[in-house]
Amino acid sequence: MYVGRDMTELTMMSKTEWKDSELAFFHHSMQQVVPYLNVEGQSLHRQIVEEIERRGGLKRNEADYTHGTRVSYD
């Protein structure tokens, strides 16, 4: 279950200020409903994807005993 800032708060901020877990969660959520998004939703999703790409993707550089190599938003 996602525990974090909601979309209302996040849309008031630059995507560069979002945490990786927030980008991952909202990208996954919006990816599930892409066919139903209006123009504003598509634009927001595109901005999220661009920020993820700018950061080099959602993978962690190294794993340890408490974290894998993928960003988890749960």
Burial of residue 29 (number of CB atoms within 10 Å: 0-12, 13-18, 19+): middle
- Provide the pLDDT for residue 50: 97
* pLDDT tens profile 24-65: 999 999 999 999 999 999 999 999 999 999 999 887 656 666
pLDDT bracket for residue 66 (50, 70, 90):
low
